[in-house]
A and B are shown apart, each in its own frame.
Chain A
């Protein structure tokens, strides 16, 4: 079945440093979504990427979808303590209804 893998599992950074998490799918995706889950909270939708090679920005967050639509990345510039949490990617096939989530990258930020 479809698998979505994320690396790294954990990332510890000093406040102000950059952070990147990578998402890889075993199959070509129709679209990919990114979510953030704060400690003790529930996943919150951040963005959806659909087009091959697509790049989207949200303030300090930059999201990319690979040319082959099998990988994606999330980059945070100049991390802040409010960025702490687990970032999940979720991939969907052939415009099917469900998404397959990766196991996330947990970001901790040291002030």
Chain B
């Protein structure tokens, strides 16, 4: 069990640029979640996949955000035309269903800074 990994760990970008983050879940986990966390707040749900199917996307999520999990393994989160308000920690988590779908294992996160 190598845990959930995320790359890059840090990203600094200029406003208006596109960024893409990658998440590799625990290998036997079929659910994958994306969250955003800012200082002093809890993780905010963005979207989640079961295998390759995107089952839910937050209504708060701008159309500039898109996520994929093409083969049901790793996932990417892309933010287009970044804004300063996008600066946050982006967390990925994975879990297994059936079994323990709510026992989520989090990765170390990607810290995004938009200048």
Contact of B108 among A42, A90, A104 (CB under 8 A): A42
A104 to B109, CA, bound (A): 18
Decide: A98 and B43 in contact? CB cutoff 8 A: no
Which of chain B's residues has its CB closest to A9's CB?
A: B40
Minimal beta-carbon separation of B32 from chain A (angstroms): 11
Decide: B103 and A48 in contact? CB cutoff 8 A: yes
| Known contacts A42-B91, A42-B109, A43-B91; is-contact A99 B104 (Cβ 8 Å) | yes
Q: Which of A1, A31, A98 has the most CB of B within 10 A?
A: A98
Decide: A88 and B102 in contact? CB cutoff 8 A: no
> A-side interface residues toward B, CB under 8 Å?
1, 4, 31, 33, 41-45, 48, 88, 90, 92, 96-104
Q: Which residues of A contact B48 (CB under 8 A)?
A: 97-98
> B-side interface residues toward A, CB under 8 Å?
31, 33, 35, 40-45, 48, 50, 55-56, 59, 91, 93, 100-109
Decide: B42 and A88 in contact? CB cutoff 8 A: yes
Q: Which residues of B contact A31 (CB under 8 A)?
A: 102
Q: Which residues of A contact B109 (CB under 8 A)?
A: 42
Q: Which residues of B contact A104 (CB under 8 A)?
A: 41-42
Decide: B100 and A97 in contact? CB cutoff 8 A: no
Q: Which residues of A contact B40 (CB under 8 A)?
A: 103
Q: Which of A1, A97, A102, A103 has the most CB of B within 10 A?
A: A97
A-B pairs with lowest CB-CB distance, top 5: A101-B42, A42-B106, A103-B42, A101-B43, A43-B106
In the complex, besides A45-B105, A92-B102, 10 extra interface pairs with C-beta distance below 8 angstroms are: A1-B59, A33-B102, A42-B91, A43-B104, A88-B42, A97-B48, A97-B50, A99-B45, A101-B45, A103-B40
